[in-house]
Structure 1
């Protein structure tokens, strides 16, 4: 009788669900599985740490629009993935995290790498599954893909016991692998949309705020259509920048605080009322602002802020309906004074920052670095920002123009995953430039993944905003314990693994170094020495030191 193993069935099920790339570390009990994945034509990207594998899978999903997949051995390897799996779930990014575990008949005996992997992952993942028998592989893998992409996206953890992976079974007894259909796209009621139009058209200072739900729904064109026909100013969440190009006429990024504080109505599409957006409550928002929410997850309606209209629907479907109903309902000059207020604030902010952006000071002013980067990046660049102060400087300076092409540490503040994000993005879109702008402290967590980028032919440019420490501080402020890191030669890490590196200490060196790095075709670190006494405007959140850069 011809038999098939659990490892073969897992590899075939992954292939059948469209998987072409897996980020992993080799190890037991997954060796046979990785061999079968290679036979199935799946690319295996071998990383240096399991956190990096899960982070790369998240970036792959964001940039490609498809679930990312990572794989780790048993025990401590699964523990290493937890923070990045939780990060994906918090950001509602669809990934499949596969993890090995020991033979079940040895559980409780003190066997090699014995650990309760499922219990570790329950708080981190949207759902956890254990494949109990090779017979169930096809069914369970398809379920994982359905769950991670349905409703509010998230990570699904799939536990792969060693005895299941090596089990041999008659293929005729197995549940087949049937990839799921396109995720459901529930529509909005006409009456709810009419109420939304009535509120927005009757407002004096309306806004549209949209998030990553627009990316997963593939609703960028529909969102832009509504902005064009209504003329309402627009703000994306940090992770969703690019769903409408940052240079769209409705975009006034530097007037964000003024816009939030003065808005009297807001249409919220595909995002949550969390700290990233100030919960839509005072002090960042007026207490009486009228909120209209379009979200595929009905549990988000009324969370932290009461809604006038709650529409539990798919973003693309609802926006398509909204655009049809809104034709002719908005006047081109209806919000002229509101837009003039925001445009004035935008111009003032740009003028104020231009002094620092053109500074010739040494050490280099961080905003001068950001200006030089901004002026050189192609519009389709995937921009990854990592690190506390670096996030703030990037937010004010670096635009994004395509959906899924901006990634940061998100609501968890999970700094240190910039380089893994970069390699995941590059694996998703090999022909698109990928630039990681990282603080020096943040780079330290996963800087060894530069080796992966070189070894696996995933060329990225890493620009380190090196302020010699963990966050900047004013010149007269005392340092936090262990804050001082020194202006280290991080560029040598790239050189050690076959990439290129350069240290930049003066403004006149910036442009030549950046041009060479961006055009090199290889993995490069540009280590830029910046003023350690220039901090970004971060004064909210825990102890008053974290938060605003993530807004």
Structure 2
């Protein structure tokens, strides 16, 4: 009995317990996708390879398992490179499979010919073309293993058309048991380093734990929560680290972020990088004498932007947190009076800042962005509580993402996905679809700026076709960062002086969702927003709420992540 290459690929994926493959079909990979579907794996067919690849990376993050993306060769690979870049920079495991032209037509100008192995080699941990159908299972399994062992990243397997068209006797195919590669190895912290960390903490006067998205990816939230509880050390979550410890926890320093950074003398970085998100660990945001304890599964990251007096721990985050909790207890660690005073001062700043932020929230016409986010948070938090259905947020945009980070409550680990390390636009709908698939019992609520939504708008149809339950909210200010009101737009358009940040006024994004079979709402008032949210929550389909907000055309663009001190350019 013969077995086709497509069947071999599908059976190999089944052996790896793959549930979903993200991608777009075309010549020569259509039959591969069909075989994958016939094997019981859900093939999620997108409208753009970019979104498919982004979805795969998000699914990998949420499940801590390598995710598969299947695309055509040539331009399909180029489009999928956005996901490769995203996976590598966020340290998430991705396996990219792509068709390619026949090996017999190499260098002859074949259909969509592209030397994809050479192209992808510098950008992946493994890139190869299987030499035969018999070796195909081992190549795919190797790609799977390499993508998540060590520092997670991308692996690539090339599928030329003549290989896809081939077949062989069933007895010639052996798919090894992959049981020993399904989970990545974990590493405990070295005892001497652990003792050093404990001693540093015992003598610290203002310690701080930074909870990065590496905690969420590693599924280390329980261990880190236990460490915070036992040590009494304040914590500060990064945007995608939010929810690993409840945001209502009294030691949460988010609302006192500036004070926490400036006053901390010892900082434990758990799966967080000292990049632009944390101001590179430099002054003026941080103290000149701060000591960092950097904990990461990626050894290459250790020491980046830290001082020579810092301590580096290469270990699984959950293992480290559990080890440190046990050691501190063994050493009889108790919070000193100076640490207690520091904690109380942060609590006072937090209370003051929270009240100040609350006082600034006022209803208006047109609606303002911050107040709209506040209303969304209040309504959806109540609906979530009453139905015992967790909300997982996806956020994309410039102002939209930054402000939602402050105003939307995250109730659980991996409960907020955003543009991540690279601040990538275009991933919103791909992330939303992946999140709905990974968490079928959660309600996915995706909050976009109108500009950001445009990058992946047609994936609304993908979500509807796959019968996913997603609420999409667009904060529509008619522009990138800020827009124009109708009168200003008309005046500048007639003068041919529209600013580069301007988008069309009151674009009906809700109509796109309706045209694709979903539910759309056009919202201009607070009550309309509340009603739309309530109706969308009760609907088992994709809903899109198009919220018109103040364009804020006169507001100065300020990027808080940029360095405040001006330095001369060095080329």
TM-score range, shorter chain: over 0.9
| 1:192 lines up with 2:193 in the alignment | yes
Distance in 1 separating the partners of 2:556 and 2:183: 42
Aligned pairs for 1:116-515 within 5 A: 116-179=115-178, 180-306=181-307, 308-327=310-329, 328-331=332-335, 335-357=339-361, 359-375=362-378, 376-377=380-381, 378=384, 380-472=390-482, 480-515=499-534
The answer to whether the 8 Å contact 2:245/2:413 transfers is yes
Q: Deviations over 1:176-226 (max 9, x none)?
A: 233215321111122211211111221111100122322333211110011
Say which SS state the counterpart of residue 140 (structure 1) adopts: helix
Q: Deviations over 1:127-162 (max 9, x none)?
A: 323223211111111111111211221222222111
The answer to whether the 8 Å contact 1:231/1:335 transfers is no
The answer to whether the 8 Å contact 2:446/2:472 transfers is yes
In structure 2, do the counterparts of structure 1 residues 67 and 472 end up closer, same or farther at CA, with 3 Å as the change threshold? same
Say which SS state the counterpart of residue 13 (structure 1) adopts: helix
Shift of 1:365: 1.1
In structure 2, do the counterparts of structure 1 residues 122 and 465 end up closer, same or farther at CA, with 3 Å as the change threshold? farther
Q: Which runs of 5+ in 2 are unaligned?
A: 489-496, 565-571
Distance in 1 separating the partners of 2:267 and 2:273: 13
Counterpart for residue 82 of structure 1? 81
Distance in 2 separating the partners of 1:458 and 1:474: 34
Structure 1, 35-44 or 339-348: larger mean CA deviation = 339-348
Correspondent of 2:550 among 531, 537, 542? 531
Distance in 2 separating the partners of 1:536 and 1:41: 53
Q: Deviations over 1:232-258 (max 9, x none)?
A: 111122122222222222212121122
In structure 2, do the counterparts of structure 1 residues 100 and 52 end up closer, same or farther at CA, with 3 Å as the change threshold? same
Counterpart for residue 491 of structure 2? none
Q: Which runs of 5+ in 1 are unaligned?
A: 545-551
Distance in 2 separating the partners of 1:537 and 1:335: 38
Distance in 2 separating the partners of 1:60 and 1:195: 37
Distance in 1 separating the partners of 2:200 and 2:313: 14
The answer to whether the 8 Å contact 2:91/2:153 transfers is yes
The answer to whether the 8 Å contact 2:206/2:338 transfers is no
Shift of 1:42: 0.4
In structure 2, do the counterparts of structure 1 residues 496 and 103 end up closer, same or farther at CA, with 3 Å as the change threshold? same
Structure 1, 169-178 or 458-467: larger mean CA deviation = 169-178
The answer to whether the 8 Å contact 2:66/2:94 transfers is yes
Normalising by structure 1, we get a TM-score of 0.93
Counterpart for residue 548 of structure 1? none
Normalising by structure 2, we get a TM-score of 0.90
Distance in 1 separating the partners of 2:360 and 2:126: 47
Counterpart for residue 22 of structure 2? 23
